[in-house]
Structure 1
Amino acid sequence: MLDGVTMRFKKFSLSQWFIILACLLLNACGGSSSDTVEEVVQQKSFITLKITDAPIDTATEVVVEFTGVELKPASGAPLNFDFDEAKTIDLLALQGNDSEVLLENIEVESGSYQWARLKVNAQINTMDSYISFENGNSFSLYVPSGNQSGLKLNDSFTVLAGQTTSFTIDFDLRKSVINPKGLVNDYILKPRLRIIDNAEISTITGTVSDELMNQASCAEGASIYVFSGHDMTPDDEGSSTPPLTSSFVNLNSESGIYEFVVAYLSPGNYTLSLTCDADLDAPEVDDDITFLASVNVSTDANQTAEVMIN
């Protein structure tokens, strides 16, 4: 019945209304009006956007206040999605496979997008966003022009037609948090972001031998640095060939085994390298840090690769 069809149209966009009405009035779509309606519904596209984090040493909290997301289609004006209430997220709590939703099943046009911008409150001398350390000290996190430009991700991505496309943004804190000279009460947050299509993510889980972890240098700062490609020569964050991402090595109190998880990787070849100097690695300085062992690993989409470093 027409009334029944009308009820189903209530959430259609203006462009979808034109398509449906043209098909109903001209009967030129090669099928019944109900088939046409279903075809239009199937072409609606949605995006889900999550955020996760690679770690930073000695910090206990890295809290950022997000106020919205902006997406830039390849053609057309940017799309703004402002939150009704700011989302306060402790990025340091998002380790391994953990993530937090920023956008969920939001209807957008399908196609290519040039960039994404995370809107934040992160002003100088203001504790809306902040970092806390093991010694109990806390400092505001300051994003230069943060309230205007936010945290911009310049990687392109594609939203598929007729379905929900889900992405995760990896917020690499080890690369992003800067302790600058001249700012007493603030740390600077310089975004080091990458976006991963959740339909193609891969994960690496691994263990590190007691022989390596029992070395005196591994009393603290034990981390796995991940480099793109096999047989890569490992280097520090401030070098010309920094790691793609990193992960802490943690002692499993029940099994007594040293473990790590690297999640949200694209399928491919990687070199994993163990360092116990991660706490000495400044993101904007070419530091001389030591790597104790490396291993090659290949990953596949939606699969978990297991490795041992010894």
Structure 2
Amino acid sequence: MRILKTFYLKYFLIAGLIIFGLTSCSEDNTDNPESGTANLTVRMTDAPGDYDAVFVDVQDVEIHVQTDGTLEGDTDGDGWISVGNVDTGVYDLLGLTGGVTQVLANSEVPAGYVSQMRLVLGSENSVVIDGETKSLNVPSGQESGLKFQIDKDFVAGENYSFLLDFDVDKSVVVTGNGGYNLNPVIRVNTEANAGKVVGTVLPPADFTADLTSLVVLSNNDVTISAYTDANGNFSLNGVPAGTYKLEVIPDDDSGLSIYTIDEVVVEENSTNDLGEIQL
């Protein structure tokens, strides 16, 4: 009888150790930064351009992920997956100025090292010049996507937000045969480490016409611009920390002079509100 009791005691002790081991493994997986998912938000905005409209046909947003586990959605085994829940459609980039942004995706993605992101465009891209719509060719975007370097570890449970900032004036290129190509110049900003500059541009008290101004923030490395809205408000998003020169450039036909602030300091994760700027 004593032998039987000893046998059952050893049995339950071994079973307990196995259960403890399995529980520990489960907890270790939970703590592993490359197990689970991270939240990813991708938004799009645009610097002003001298066109009536520039339409881009967004079909997908994909990321290249390196992870120890199985990568769900990687049908080709090349590490590229769609971020999922992409708000596809044809967007006018010139409608995304003055601080206006378009959310392209807000999704849960696998944790791991993300080397690149790519924006996959369809065929419905066009530019409108003096009221005339012209086809906008995208040489590489329709096949492999427009790629951006990310080089960031996505940790499970963390949130990551990226802003794709087009520069239309540099992105639309006239070809030798009179056509138009979209060779996108896009600044990718990780908004978690960036700042913002906002303010309101006011015309002189005796100025009665509608006024739109171009606000340009620049230093040796970065140039970010946006138009003011109908109330004179502007918002320059995704600004890397640093010291900048700010210029408010009124419409040419307004007769107003350019207003300059020589030093605008931008800090990480903060908003520099310049308040009212009186022209």
Out of 192, 201, 216, the position equivalent to 2:194 is 201
1:1-310 to structure 2, matched below 5 A, reads 25=18, 27-28=20-21, 35=27, 39=31, 43-73=35-65, 77-81=78-82, 86-111=88-113, 113-122=114-123, 128-133=124-129, 135-183=130-178, 186-208=179-201, 210=203, 222-228=213-219, 243-252=222-231, 258-275=232-249, 293-307=260-274, 308=277
Residue 204 of structure 1, CA deviation: 0.8
**Aligned counterpart, 1:237:** none
| Cα deviation 1:176-210 (Å, max 9, x = unaligned) | 12234422xx4221111122223233211123453
Query: Would the alpha carbon gap of residues 155 and 277 (structure 1) be closer, same or farther in structure 2, given more than 3 Å must change?
Result: farther
* Aligned-partner residue type, residue 265 of structure 1: V
| Cα deviation 1:259-305 (Å, max 9, x = unaligned) | 32211223332221234589xxxxxxxxxxx9652432112334321
Residue 145 of structure 1, CA deviation: 2.6
**Which structure has the highest strand share of the two?**
2
Structure 2 Cα separation of the partners of residues 193 and 169 of structure 1: 6
Task: Give the 3-state SS of the residue equivalent to 2:192 in structure 1.
Answer: helix
Is this contact kept in 1: 2:225–2:236, CA < 8 A? yes
Residue 130 of structure 1, CA deviation: 1.3
Question: Normalising by structure 2, what TM-score?
Answer: 0.70
| Cα deviation 1:102-129 (Å, max 9, x = unaligned) | 3322322323x3322111124xxxxx11
Q: CA RMSD in A?
A: 3.9
Residue 156 of structure 1, CA deviation: 3.0
* Aligned-partner residue type, residue 218 of structure 2: F
Is this contact kept in 2: 1:121–1:129, CA < 8 A? yes
* Aligned-partner residue type, residue 109 of structure 1: A
Q: Percent identity?
A: 23
Structure 2 Cα separation of the partners of residues 108 and 32 of structure 1: 22
Question: Normalising by structure 1, what TM-score?
Answer: 0.64
Gaps of at least 5 residues in structure 1 are 1-23, 123-127, 233-240, 253-257, 279-289
Is this contact kept in 2: 1:54–1:245, CA < 8 A? no
**Aligned counterpart, 2:74:** none
Query: Aligned pair count?
Result: 247
Task: Give the 3-state SS of the residue equivalent to 2:143 in structure 1.
Answer: helix
Structure 2 Cα separation of the partners of residues 210 and 96 of structure 1: 17
Query: Would the alpha carbon gap of residues 271 and 159 (structure 1) be closer, same or farther in structure 2, given more than 3 Å must change?
Result: farther
* Aligned-partner residue type, residue 120 of structure 1: L
